[in-house]
Amino acid sequence: MTVFWFLVREGLKGLIRSKYSGAFSIIIIAISLILVGFGYVGARDTLFLVDNIRAQFDVDIFLHETASDKEINNFEALLDSMIEIQKVHYISPEKAAVKFKKEFGEDIFDMLDYNPLPPSFTISLKPIYRNLTSVEGIASILSKKPGVDEVKYRKKFLILLEKYQRIILITVVSVFAFLALLSIILTSNSIKMTIFSRREVISTMKLVGATNSFVRWPFVIEGTLQGFIASCLAALFIYGVFYLLNNYLQTVIEYKAIISYRFYIGIVISGTLMGLIGSRRAIRKFLK
């Protein structure tokens, strides 16, 4: 127990003794975590946004104006039975007229004496079928069904989305991976600097007969504490920024970040682990 407490005490004292280099390490780790934290939220929300845009993708199926109730019912039953379809919404000619008025501000009956709007269905596809190949296949099948006049969807939009989604995904993942890698390198180097400034202690300990693990522990404890303090600071900073963003700037930028407490716990655990692993790796070099 004497040795255990000695090592813990040495670790704590080391943190205080290292002053500037220790504070520098903490700041570097905190900045790294802040970058990774914002990088993560940015990546997550960009991908979420793309998914959301895709989720809004609908296919409109217009039936002939003359379609009977029976044909409409049969067609609805067919749509309900298709596994690719998530949601089916029927728009009767009357509802279409109301929608027309809402969208264009004019009553169709004032312009024409009759309602030319046909009965239609708006369908949403399941996420895995929201791609060009599937949509084209489904549209082609449906357009051949009896009573169907026209199948419409935003083809150009889908082509553009498919083209850019890949680029967005690669960019977002690369930026996040770059930030994560940068933070590991920065953390490891700043801990190395802290240890380098105390190489005198290491060589003296080794001269008086300390084993490598005895020399290592105070530095690992110190590095872990640095990581923990830095990650708490980073979590506080990120919380503060999102608090301001959500409470004061939301109306300006029309964005609300939803961040669960698990994200902050993740930051603290990552930072602490970075300190632990970084110091273990850094001390290894000085023990050779």
Partner 1 sequence: MINFINVDCTFRKKAGVKNINFSVNSGEFVFLTGPSGAGKSTILRLIYMDLFPEKGKVIIRNYNSSSIRDREIPYLRRKVGMVFQDFRLLSDRNAYQNVALSLYVSHYKTSEIKKRVYEVLNQVGLGHRVHYRPYELSGGEQQRVAIARALVKEPVVILADEPTGNLDPKVSIELMNLLNKINKRGTAIIVATHNYSLIPRVPGARLIQIDEGKIVSIT
- Measure the CA–CA gap between 16 and 38, rounded to whole angstroms: 30
- Measure the CA–CA gap between 89 and 119, rounded to whole angstroms: 11
Under the criterion CB under 8 A, does residue 206 sit at the interface with partner 1?
A: yes
Give the shortest CB-53-to-partner 1 separation in angstroms.
59
C-alpha angle 206-209-211 in degrees, rounded to nearest 5: 75
Query: Residue 254 — left, alpha, or beta (φ > 0 → left; ψ -120 to 50 → alpha)?
Result: left
Q: How many residues bind partner 1 (CB under 8 A)?
A: 17
199 CA to centre of own chain: 42
Q: Which stretch binds partner 1 (CB under 8 A): 54-62, 143-151, 184-192, 203-211?
A: 203-211
- Helices first, then strands: H and E counts in the chain: 11, 4
Under the criterion CB under 8 A, does residue 132 sit at the interface with partner 1?
A: no
Give the shortest CB-285-to-partner 1 separation in angstroms.
15
Under the criterion CB under 8 A, does residue 2 sit at the interface with partner 1?
A: yes
Under the criterion CB under 8 A, does residue 64 sit at the interface with partner 1?
A: no
Query: How many CB atoms neighbour CB 18 within 10 A?
Result: 20
Site residues (CB under 8 A) for partner 1, limited to 17-46: 17
Give the shortest CB-2-to-partner 1 separation in angstroms.
5
Under the criterion CB under 8 A, does residue 214 sit at the interface with partner 1?
A: yes
Q: Which stretch binds partner 1 (CB under 8 A): 68-76, 154-162, 170-178, 207-215?
A: 207-215
